[in-house]
Every structure is written in structure tokens, then in C-alpha cells.
Structure 1
Amino acid sequence: MEVLNLSLWVRFSRGGQEGFGTLEGERIAVHTGDLFAGAAPTGATLALAEVTLLAPVRPGAFLGLWNNFHAAAAKQGNAIPDFPLYFLKTPRCVIGPGEAIRPPSGYEGKVLYEGELGLVIGKRVSNADEAEAAAAIFGLTCVNDVTALDLLLADAAFPQWARAKGADTFGPIGPAIATGLDWSALSVKVALNGRVRQDYPLSDMIIPPARIVSLISREMTLHPGDVIACGTSLGALPMRPGMQVAVTIEGIGTLENAYASAA
């Protein structure tokens, strides 16, 4: 894994107040200002044990890709896309590390985890070429693109992507945003109760990050804080209440959430 001046940005709450900073071992160097436009260290630090980590970003737009890995496309018999096949998850579904994933009230069907690489946009980007798009990616994070599978095709006339993927708690992001990582050298691992169920290389991606951002920006202006989940590969399976699901990407960390019963 190539590291190019790695920083790990986190958001946290402490005593009813929210803040952000860089994670340095077991401490957070607190910053002030705008994460994407002039964040400055305050000189203060906090012990990680003193705070609750939040999702490291509050996206204005939260996009997810489908069918973006060669291995999964080959197994499922899907054609290789030329343009990102994307859907929108509501930003209101976002939760942070340690928060519980819950199915919608009354839903008794399958709920899948999908471990993915998330791209965090750092500057406004519209109709960009790939070099401009690459420069607009602030950093990388872990995403669990949770899906209520039985809702997706509940109506044969209308695939319900937003409903299936946008329920409350269906967008875990975190634990940090890493800058300075080479995405192509990374792998995504997902463990259920400690047993690895997904383990796939990001180098198998069909449409790579800079091209994803470039192509989407032709149709949709992206803004600082927007998140794009790059799609998942083989091994996405249903969860059962009581399970712990952990998405790990080396250099970013582990995003762990419990899957609980409906509230």
C-alpha cells in the first residue's frame, strides 16, 4: 500500500458538542474551520476514549454504484457498463461507527451488508475531466451500503432502489476519511461476527474513482462532502439480528455496526 502523506480525519461528539480533527494513534488533534476549506489545528488534543466517533462526513448527496466489479459481473452474468450505474441513498440514512443498523418497522425480509470504498468529494466539480475529478476527491472512507433486498423488487413494475437502500440507519460511513492512500492497492474486507465474508481487491473495479467522478459530474454537480460508494463485489449476504458487521479497509480503519431488530 502506497501512503502519500496519510491523514485520518474524524468527526466526534463530546459533552453534547461536535468537533473534528485528525486521528493520531489514540488521540485526536482537534481542528477548527471547514474540513474542506482551510481546517486549522487548535493545538488541543482529546483521547479517543473520551469521545464518541460520528460519521466522518455529512453528505449533501450520497450516491452508490451497482455492477462495478469484474468478478461480481462475471458471476452474475452482467454486461460491463461504460457509465456508472448509480442510485441515490438519502443522506438521512447515514450513521457512524458503533451505531445500530435496524430494518424498517414491520419488514421481515432479507437485509444485506455491502462493504464498499467511499469517495469523499472535497471541492465543487462539474463537467470535469479525469484529472480535475481526481483532484476533487478529498479522501477515502468505508461504507456499508445496507440493502433491504425484498423491497427492491417488491413491485415488479418499479425497482425501488431508494426505498431498499435509503431506510433509516442504512448508510454507515466511517470511521475516518483517509487522505494520501492509493485506492488501487487496497482491499475491502467484511466480517460477520468476526468471520470474513467479503475480501476483494479494489483493483478489480470496472470504472475507477477518477472516471466515476468525471462521468457523474457531467450530469450532476458534486459538492464538498458528497459521498460516492464505489460498489461491492462477491460475498454480500443477509444479516441476522445480533450480528456485528465490520467493514475494514487498510489505512482507513474498521467501520463496525451491530445489526439489531426493528425499533
Structure 2
Amino acid sequence: MTRWVRFDDNGTAAFGTVEDNVVHVHEGDMFDGATDTGRTLSADGLKLLPPCQPTKVIALWNNFRALGAKLGVSAPEDPLYLLKAVSSITSPQADVPRPKAYDGRIVYEGELGIVIGKRLANASVTEAEDGIFGYTCVNDITAGDLLNKDPNFPQWARAKSFDGFCPFGPVIATGLDPSTLSIRTVLNGAERQNYPVSDMIFPAADLVSRISQDMTLMPGDLIACGTSVGVGSMKEPVNIVEVSIEGIGTLSNRVLC
């Protein structure tokens, strides 16, 4: 397993691999031909950046059987998804401010993220699996009261695209079997979610294959796999949200409500 990280290196974005709390700085293209420079840094105190720069963020809805059963909705025949604005992306450890134009509920959603490693269009499941670079943690933050504010049009993209509403990281981990993983979300020190990836309706490679039939996926694109039971509103003025996945680590952000 390899864990890739991006960080601020004296005002310049840099990247490398993390091993035993040491970052091995690389150069080139993370997804195609990255080479180790031989330079190392301590991971302690680094200002982390989002671990890649997606051209698009695809977010799933109703992709876990347990949440679907709780909501009383049937399993979809095809993936149900929306696009989040790339301007909603923010870094691990960053503060997420309340949008100035919105005063309603703000909801956390701890999720597994798939990071694409190569261009995929109309990919088979085998091709899709080969095209997955790795996995990361995502907090798919949502302005809950906007979704159905207008009864004529569910506002998924607007509700999920405010600045800062897509923190992900802290790393991209390669070499993981996602079906063995669990997602744990802790809000202000209390566990709110702990659910298995194996409950996904569309497993990772199948999901990537199906989405690639609809749109071309590019290296660095992020697919947030959807969430399960335990999502909820953040009610404190300052909320610490931690999304943890084995092998990847913990994505931590302060959400200001």
C-alpha cells in the first residue's frame, strides 16, 4: 500500500508518499511517472492540500442498502449521482465557513472517495478497476434545507457546492481492497457513523465502469461513494468532524455553523 499526499512547500504545491510519518517528496505526475527526488520531510506540521486536483467531483445518492432501507427507497438500477463544484474542494484541517447566503441546517456525510488514475471512457469493469488510482476520505457537506426549498426542483448541486463543502484526504491510499473497509464519522468527539463499504449497492469498479459510460473520467477525478445511516446536522458554533477509514487515515475539519 502506498499513501500519497499533497502539501504546501514554502508556497508551492508539492506531493509525495508517506511512510512512518516521513514524506518522500516526488516530482512529475502523481498518476503517470512520479519519481522520488530523494528529499524527505517530517509529516508533522505540514500544511496539507487536497491530495489531488479533480476536474470534477461526482457524488452518489442512495448507494448503501442500510440507508435506503431506513429511507424506504428501493435500490436503484443505475447509479444516482450529482456533480459538486470543484470550487467546493478544501484541504484537510481547513475551516469550513457557513455560507453567507444560507442560515439553515448544515449536514455532515462521511464517505469513501474513489480517485481515478487514468482516462476512462466506456470502460469495462476490469478496465475500471485498473483505472482506479486509490481511495480517500470525503466529507460531503450539504446545506440540508436547500434540497427541497423549491418543490419544483431538488437543488442537489447548489446544496452541496458551497465553498468548502468538499473536504477530502488526508491522503490517497493505493493497494486497498475497498470491500474490506469501514467508514467512521465522529462529530465533536461522539461517533455518529460506522458502516461497511461492503454494503454499497454499486461496488467501486462497477460504479466507475457505469459512470464512465455517461462521462469521460480523467486522472484525479473524485467519486464520493455516498453515505449510510448516521448522517445529521451540526449544531455547535464550531464543529470538529473526523472521517476515518482504515489504511487512509482521518480527515479532520472544523465546520463553523
TM-score under structure 1 length normalisation: 0.96
CA distance in 2, matches of 1:8, 1:154: 41
CA distance in 2, matches of 1:76, 1:163: 22
Pair 1:101 & 2:101 matched:
no
Q: Deviation per CA, 1:173-222: give whole Å up to 9, x if none.
A: 10000001110010000001111100000000111111111111111000
CA distance in 2, matches of 1:34, 1:214: 24
Pair 1:77 & 2:91 matched:
no
**Runs (5+) with no aligned partner, structure 1:** 1-5
Q: Deviation per CA, 1:215-242: give whole Å up to 9, x if none.
A: 1111100000000000000000111321
Counterpart in the other structure of 1:49: 44
Counterpart in the other structure of 2:2: 7
The residue type paired with residue 59 of structure 1 is P
Instruction: Answer whether contact 1:7 1:179 (CA < 8 A) is retained.
Output: yes
Q: Deviation per CA, 1:140-183: give whole Å up to 9, x if none.
A: 00000000011111111111111000000000010000001110
Residue 47 of structure 1: how far off its partner (Å): 1.0
Counterpart in the other structure of 1:163: 158
Counterpart in the other structure of 1:139: 134
Mean alpha-carbon deviation: is it higher for 17-26 or for 139-148? 17-26
The residue type paired with residue 158 of structure 2 is R
Residue 103 of structure 1: how far off its partner (Å): 2.2
Counterpart in the other structure of 1:209: 204
Mean alpha-carbon deviation: is it higher for 47-56 or for 174-183? 47-56
Q: Percent identity?
A: 53
CA distance in 2, matches of 1:247, 1:50: 20
Pair 1:246 & 2:249 matched:
no
Q: Deviation per CA, 1:59-103: give whole Å up to 9, x if none.
A: 101000000001001111111111110000011110111101122
Q: Deviation per CA, 1:103-137: give whole Å up to 9, x if none.
A: 21042111100000000000000001100011110
CA distance in 2, matches of 1:53, 1:255: 11
Counterpart in the other structure of 2:105: 110
RMSD, aligned CA = 0.8
CA distance in 2, matches of 1:72, 1:132: 29
* 1:10 match: secondary structure: strand
* 1:181 match: secondary structure: coil
CA distance in 2, matches of 1:51, 1:11: 10
Counterpart in the other structure of 1:178: 173
Residue 50 of structure 1: how far off its partner (Å): 4.5
Counterpart in the other structure of 1:3: none
CA distance in 2, matches of 1:103, 1:152: 16
Residue 14 of structure 1: how far off its partner (Å): 2.4
CA distance in 2, matches of 1:129, 1:22: 29
Choose the corresponding residue for 1:255, options 239, 251, 256.
Answer: 251
**Runs (5+) with no aligned partner, structure 2:** none
The residue type paired with residue 255 of structure 1 is L
